[in-house]
Structures are given as C-alpha cells and as structure tokens.
Structure 1
Amino acid sequence: MAEIIDRISDLPAHIIYDILRKVGKYHNLREEARTCILSKRWSSIWRWRPDVIISKYNHKGLKNNLENFVKSVDDSLLPYAEHNLRIETLCLIGLAHPGLTSHIDRWLNLAIKHNVRSLNIYSNSMKNSKYYSIPDALHAAKMLTELSLRRCSLEVDDSTNKLQQLINTCQLIRNLSVDDCKGIHNLCVAGLVNLEKLELLNCEGLKKIEIQAPNLRVFAFKGAPLSMYQKTREVLPLPCTINILDGYKTLQILKLEAATMTDQEFEYKLSKFSALEVLELTRCYEIKKIKIVSHKLKRFTLWYWRNLKQVDLLTPNLREFDFESGKMCMPFSTMVTSNLKRANIFFYKRGSYVDPDIVYGNVDTSWYNNVQDFVRKLDYSKGLVLVILCRQVFLFLF
C-alpha cells in the first residue's frame, strides 16, 4: 500500500493563510473556521491569523448575551497578547451596542500595540443607532496604511476634529474612507504623500475640503443631504466647497455625487486633471452645462440629472458611456467619441398611483427623433454596443 502523504499540512504557512482568507472573503468567517478541520496545523494558523474580524454577524453572543460575546472575542484575542502575534488588519463590524464601547476601545488598543496597518470600523448602518466615538488612542497608530470609518463620531470642537488629528499624525495612510460620520466641518488632507484613494461620503456638516496629496489616484465625494424634505419631495445636498490643490497629474478616477459645484467650478477643476480616465457624476443638480475635452478619459457616467441643458464630449478615446434621465431627451450637442465600444442609455417615466397623469416625458415621435439625432452624433467605431432602456417608475405621494 502506497504511503499517504499529508501534503495539505505541508503547505507553506502564507499559502494556507491565503486560502483561508479567500474562503472567509467569498463565504463567511464560519466557513473559514470549518476549513481548519483539514489539519491541526491549519487550525493553529487560522487561530493566529494576522487579519482579525470582530462582527456581530459572526458572533451569535452579541444578540443573545453581551457578556458571552465579549468573552468570546477576548478569548480569540488572547493568543495575540500572550505570544505577541501580528495584527495587520482589524475589522469591527456592526458593534453598535451601547455596552460595547469600552470593550471596542480595548480591542483597538491591542491592535494599535501590535502595529495594525489596516483598520475598518463599521458601526451599525441603522440611522437610529448610536455613533461610535473614536478614542484618542488611535492617534498612536503610526503604521496605519488603510483607514475606513463608517458611522463614527469624530467631533472635538469647532476648530478641529479627530479625523484631522489622525491625518496629522498617521502619515503613512494610503487609502482613507469616511462614510456617514459626524463632527467634521472643515478638513485639510495634507502631508499624506502616500495617499492614493480618498472617499468622503455622506458626512453631514462637512463644509470645506482641501486636498494636497501628490499621489492621489482616486477621489470620491458624496454630499450629505439636508435632513428636511422640500416641497419637491427631493432631498437637497448641503453645500460643500472642494479644493483639490495637488494631484492634478495623478488623479485617474473622480466620482462626485450630490456635489454643489457650479458649471464654472466644475469646468475649472476638470481642466486640471490631465490623467483622468474615469468620471462619474450623480445627482449634481447645480451643473447645467458640461464640456469635457480629454484624450485620456475612457469611461463617463452621467446619472440622475435634472437641470442639465447641454453636454459636449470631445473625448476621442472614450470606451464606455452610461447615461440616465427621468426626462425623455438627451442634452448632447457635440460628441467626439471615435473609440466608443459601449453605451447604456436609461430613461424612466415617473408617475404615481395617486395621479397617473404626473409623468415626466413620453415615448412619442419626438422622442424617437431625439434618439436618432443622438445616434448620428456618435462618432462611433466598429463594434459599438448601444443599449437603450425605458422603464415606468411609480412614486407614492403622501
């Protein structure tokens, strides 16, 4: 009988861990743990993995018994403290329970002492849940290269905020994402020479942003809405000034949603980004005229517009184009897009069950003429795929 060789256990530790991490990423932490029955070595490597995920979705104890949940997490972190194991990544997900605040602070402190490089704090996404207040100890995380915060409180006083303090002290950050956080009024992103990706989303109260990042490649901004609905039943964005003072030659991806830029502000800023390849504009209602002159732009998305009157695209290397409108018309005056390969045009008619006659636009002869005129403007190359979708969307009026 041939000798059975345990090749699975003999795999290098970094390969075993990479397999386990991918199982956890594409399935869940429980499946990742189950995979460890393959061998004792796999089990020990999993228990000492450098990526630590503490989530209410993977610990039943948080729902049933807070004390058991805390004990379970403490037990799982004990080997890191006893054996001085690496903690490269710490993810705290959905831990909005008021009794957990001091424990989260402890777990953060442990990760900071072990030179955590990637930190993700995702508090509960429910709007009525409590914001997690970032502790001052986080300023000691000098090795941070990735920081992602969601639904956290960053307020110190009117002159500064905890995010500004983090930027000033943790200057190795490469990726920074802030979503639905409060306490930020003015933000100066400077001194982060390694910063490549910056996302500022839904931060109510944010009035001014200044960015000096010489290696910035991706910038995404989503304006926070006013808390009160207007008569139009649409939520208007709070005004926020965006000044990108550096990174003109490196920025490749720009995503703006609910930004309050005027035509002149947008055109001026866009003209400086010589390396821009991807541009996404969503709900930028203040913009009425768009003119883009670029040999680098490859993908352009124009989504949910209301006041737009005219669009001129002089983008000979544009490959993909997405456009959505609630009006059955297309405001394109000039289109130089000789390398366009895919265009998705989406129209929807809006009405209501209360009054079906409230409709913005109709599919009629003039609409078809409008489409034909648009197609004629396309300086298209062989192989262009043009998809036009129309859909009825009902709104309930109360």
Structure 2
Amino acid sequence: MNYFAIRSLPSSKQMMLKRALQNLRVPSESKRKRISGTVYDKTCAIDLCAEASGAHRKRKREQFSIIDKNVKLKKQQTAKDSNSVDKRVASMDYISQLPDTVIHIILSLLRSTKDAARTSILSKRWRDMWISFSVLTFDQRTFQELEGVQSMENCNEVFKQFIDKSLQSHLDRKLGIYKFVLHLTSYDPALVHHMERWFGIATENNAKELGFHVHVKGTRRYILPKNVFAAEGITGLRLQGCKLETCSIIKLPHLQKLYLRNLRVDQQIIMNLISSCPLIDDLRLIQCSGLSCLDISSLLKLDRVEVHCCNVLKKIDITAPSLQAFWYCGKKQVSCKINLKDCESLKRLTLEDSRMTNNQFHGRFFSFPLLEKLELSNCLKLTNIRIGSHRLNRLVLRGCKNLEEAEIDTPNLLSFEYQGDKFPFSFLNPKCLKEVKLSFAPMEDRKLKLNLKSEPLWFPKLREFLGKFDHKGLKLVVRTSKVIVSFYY
C-alpha cells in the first residue's frame, strides 16, 4: 500500500492508521537478527500497520466480551446473594415456629384488632392463626350509636339478635374464639338467659379470655353466669359492674389474669376464687365493695398486684416470693394495714396512701432490697423520711404536701420526678442522675408576685442541688405555673 492508497482511505481509517504507526515500534538490527523466520523492512511495516488496526478492533471486541462476562458474573453473584439472603431470612423466621398459644399472646398484645388482622397476610400459618384468634367484642353503647336506635327496649332486642347472628355465623364457619367481651349499658332481665348461652358458646369454643362489663345504674346488677366459673381453658377474666354469687364449683386451673372492677363481692367468694386459681400472676381489684381483708399466700407465681379504692379494705397480707410489682391506692377515710414483708423480690412499689405515717413507710420500704422503682403520691402524713438504696433507679414523689425533709441516698438513681410547692430534698450522691423533672405549684405569696426580683423559696435549694453535678448528660425540666424551662448539662 503506497502513499496515494493511504490518502484515498476514509478519514477515520487514516486516523486509525496514524495511531497504529505511532504505536508501532520497528525492532533494531540486533533484535531483528534474534527473531527467526521474520523479515522487517519499511514496506512490511506499512502492512503491519494495516493488520494492527484489525488487531485493535479485535482487542476492543475482546474487552467488550470480558465486560459482558463480568456483568453476567456479577448478576449471577447478586442472584446467588439474594437467594442466600432469602434463605437466611426464611431460616431466621423463628416467630412463625412458635406454639399457637404464644402467637395468640403476641396478637393479643397488639394495639387494635385491625393490627392483628393485618398479620394474616404474612403467611398461611399466620392466616390460620388469625382465624383461630377471633376476638368477639359486643359493645351495646357503640351498637346503639351506629344503628341509631332510640328506644332502649328496641336497642336491647336488636342488640340480642345481632349477637345471636354473629355467634351463629362464627359457628357455621367453624372458627375458633380467642376472646369474648360483652359490654352492656344497663340491667335488663330479658338478657339474663341469653348471657349464659353466649358465655357457654365462648367457653365451648376454647375461648382464652372472657370479659363482662356493665355500666351500673341503680342497685340492680347482673349475676355472673355460673358457667364462667367452669371455663377450664380461660387464662384471663375481666369483670366490671356485675355481682358474684357463692359458687361451690370453681374450675379455673389455667387462669393467669384476674381483673375485678366496681364489684360487690363477698369476702369468702374472693378467697375461694383466688385459692382455686393457683396460676394467677396478675391480680387487680378496683373499687370493689364488701372486701375487708385480702390475704394471699397460695399464689406462687404472683407477679403483680393492684388494689385501688376498695372502701372497707382494712388489711392486706401478701406472701408471694415472686411478686415484682405492688400498687396500692387507698381512701382517705379508711386506714389499711399492708404487710408485704415476705415479698423480697419486689422491684416496683407504688403507694397512694394519705394515712401512711413516717414509721409505716420506713417499715415497708426497707423490707425490699431489690426495689428499683418507688412512687409516692398524696401521702399527706409523711413529714420526714429517708430513702436509701443501691438498686433504686427511679423515684417519683407527687402531692406529698407536708413533706419537710427527705434524705435521699441512692447512688444509682437515674430518674427523679417531683411535684409540690417546695424543695425538701437533700441528695447525698446524685451523680448518676440522667433526668430530673420538677413541677412547682404557683406562688401564693402576694409580695413575691409583686416583687419580680425575689426568688421562690425553693430556688436556693435547687441551686445547691445543681451544684453537686460535675458531669454532662443531665436533663432538667422545671415547670412552674404555665412556664416550662428545660436545661441540658
């Protein structure tokens, strides 16, 4: 190929030849002698340039093929990785492998029935769990509002028919019942017979939780159907506004949670009920009349006890080595003697007792070496107390108006909350505190209101309290009247 032949080539070919000539290196004479079977001269150099352009295109094709192979390998590797992730996720789905009863407990802890229903899309097992989890709640007041029934008599009849049809539909589809709850607005003798049948259907279908709530009007009350006391499979029973009658046969061997609210009870009935349910771990008595003494010694798994506003209750005696939480809220007119000395595992104690004295408090508090949370509310007779504990990490004091001095020696205290009109505390070692919430009542002294330069009476002690901190990380919130001030140290 001569010069004119090269000039006749297209410009793109000429540029390609030019680059090839620039990159081509003709070996020296000594190197040519070492290469056998090949003759190099200027003419063959031009021919080699033409071949070099083809080699250049071949190298590009090879590079593209290598890139394609790399892309394919990466896609295959990504697919393998995703498959391995799916396998790992599938192998790590331990929740779906839990027993049915445990999954039902998980569903019952969700905020609403709709949230529980959404779990049915996870898998076939969760769909089956949701079907067997059915929660049937019949609220007469809500039903009346939705249906717009004005007459109470008509409302009761329509409401009764609605429950009958719902239960029958449930039985026709062979669905289980996990929870059955009935809310009634008032007493109606016509519903007594039907109630026993409804609760019978629920227990025969292995319901785990039963609830019966009545809004009390007047003196007439529903008597709890006796078949509820023979529901051997239930684990939770919540009763409000009804009446318990003496029952000779109580078969609730699996009952764990017993909530009684606004009930007229007999001393012997409560004792028989508690003694017949050895697995109770959560017991709550709220506004129950007729109970003068609460004596518990047979519940070895008891974890939580709450007693609120039981009018004539004068004595609480609990022997429960596993008790973790106790909450008592008493009436101003009645003094209640509380004995928890044999509950050494107690970790959370809440007392709202306006008649509790300093000595009574010290006798209760220092009996619990493992206590982690203490809350005192409206304890009006407390004047001078000492709180010393190495395990206490949360302390709350509200409405203790007559408290003049409180010595607090809690080196591991993390949270402190106070509500009152002064600052009667002396902290010996507050260095671990992370959060302090103080709420002071508005000043009543007119002179202090008029003199804006005057400090509140509690301010010097607050300044002294803050002077004991030599570390960062404290959150301080101070509320007084409508003013809220937050500090971060």
Would the TM-score normalized by the shorter structure come out above 0.5? yes
Report what 1:277 is aligned to: 372
**Shift in CA distance, 55/285, structure 1 to aligned 2, threshold 3 Å:** same
* Residue of structure 2 aligned with 1:147, choices 258, 264, 285: 258
- Contact 1:186 1:209 survives alignment (8 Å): yes
In the alignment, the residues of structure 2 paired with residue 189 and residue 84 of structure 1 have an alpha-carbon distance, to the nearest angstrom, of: 41
- Contact 1:117 1:145 survives alignment (8 Å): no
C-alpha deviations, 1:206-232, integer Å up to 9, x for none?
1111111111011111113xxxxxxxx
Report what 1:302 is aligned to: 397
Report what 1:4 is aligned to: none
C-alpha deviations, 1:330-361, integer Å up to 9, x for none?
1113432221100000012277xxxx97999x
In the alignment, the residues of structure 2 paired with residue 145 and residue 105 of structure 1 have an alpha-carbon distance, to the nearest angstrom, of: 23
Report what 1:384 is aligned to: 474
In the alignment, the residues of structure 1 paired with residue 448 and residue 181 of structure 2 have an alpha-carbon distance, to the nearest angstrom, of: 46
The AA in structure 1 aligned to 2:139 is S
The AA in structure 1 aligned to 2:133 is R
In the alignment, the residues of structure 2 paired with residue 136 and residue 89 of structure 1 have an alpha-carbon distance, to the nearest angstrom, of: 25
- Contact 1:222 1:257 survives alignment (8 Å): yes
Report what 2:232 is aligned to: none
Q: List runs of 5+ in structure 1 lacking aligned partners.
A: 1-10, 225-235, 394-398
- Contact 2:380 2:402 survives alignment (8 Å): yes
**Residue 414 of structure 2 corresponds to residue 319 of structure 1:** yes
Report what 1:258 is aligned to: 353
**Residue 466 of structure 2 corresponds to residue 375 of structure 1:** yes
Report what 1:132 is aligned to: 242
**Shift in CA distance, 85/190, structure 1 to aligned 2, threshold 3 Å:** farther
Structure number with higher strand proportion: 1
- Contact 1:251 1:273 survives alignment (8 Å): yes
**Shift in CA distance, 41/190, structure 1 to aligned 2, threshold 3 Å:** closer
> What is the identity percentage for the equivalent residue pairs of Structure 1 and Structure 2?
28
Q: Which shifted more, 185-194 or 364-373?
A: 364-373
Q: What TM-score, normalized by structure 2, do the two folds share?
A: 0.61
Report what 1:185 is aligned to: 292
In the alignment, the residues of structure 1 paired with residue 290 and residue 373 of structure 2 have an alpha-carbon distance, to the nearest angstrom, of: 31
Q: Secondary structure at the match of 2:428?
A: strand
**Shift in CA distance, 350/369, structure 1 to aligned 2, threshold 3 Å:** closer
* Residue of structure 2 aligned with 1:26, choices 111, 124, 147: 111
Number of residue pairs matched?
355
In the alignment, the residues of structure 2 paired with residue 127 and residue 258 of structure 1 have an alpha-carbon distance, to the nearest angstrom, of: 30
Please identify the structure whose Cα radius of gyration is greater.
Answer: 2
- Contact 2:141 2:184 survives alignment (8 Å): no
The AA in structure 1 aligned to 2:430 is T
**Residue 397 of structure 2 corresponds to residue 286 of structure 1:** no
- Contact 1:318 1:337 survives alignment (8 Å): yes
- Contact 2:427 2:465 survives alignment (8 Å): no
- Contact 1:123 1:152 survives alignment (8 Å): no
The AA in structure 1 aligned to 2:162 is S
How far does residue 288 in structure 1 lie from its aligned partner after superposition? 1.6
How far does residue 174 in structure 1 lie from its aligned partner after superposition? 1.1
Equivalent residue runs for 1:165-184 within 5 Å = 165-184=272-291
Equivalent residue runs for 1:198-217 within 5 Å = 198-217=305-324
**Shift in CA distance, 41/381, structure 1 to aligned 2, threshold 3 Å:** closer
Report what 2:342 is aligned to: 246
Report what 2:77 is aligned to: none
Q: List runs of 5+ in structure 2 lacking aligned partners.
A: 1-95, 150-154, 222-240, 484-489
Q: What TM-score, normalized by structure 1, do the two folds share?
A: 0.74
Q: Which shifted more, 124-133 or 199-208?
A: 124-133
Q: Secondary structure at the match of 2:442?
A: strand
- Contact 2:261 2:285 survives alignment (8 Å): yes
* Residue of structure 2 aligned with 1:95, choices 165, 177, 184: 184
RMSD: 4.1
How far does residue 254 in structure 1 lie from its aligned partner after superposition? 0.7
**Shift in CA distance, 111/381, structure 1 to aligned 2, threshold 3 Å:** farther
* Residue of structure 2 aligned with 1:195, choices 294, 299, 302: 302
- Contact 1:81 1:110 survives alignment (8 Å): no
- Contact 2:286 2:308 survives alignment (8 Å): yes
In the alignment, the residues of structure 1 paired with residue 172 and residue 323 of structure 2 have an alpha-carbon distance, to the nearest angstrom, of: 39
In the alignment, the residues of structure 1 paired with residue 387 and residue 216 of structure 2 have an alpha-carbon distance, to the nearest angstrom, of: 37
Q: Secondary structure at the match of 1:59?
A: helix
In the alignment, the residues of structure 2 paired with residue 210 and residue 241 of structure 1 have an alpha-carbon distance, to the nearest angstrom, of: 8
- Contact 2:141 2:185 survives alignment (8 Å): no
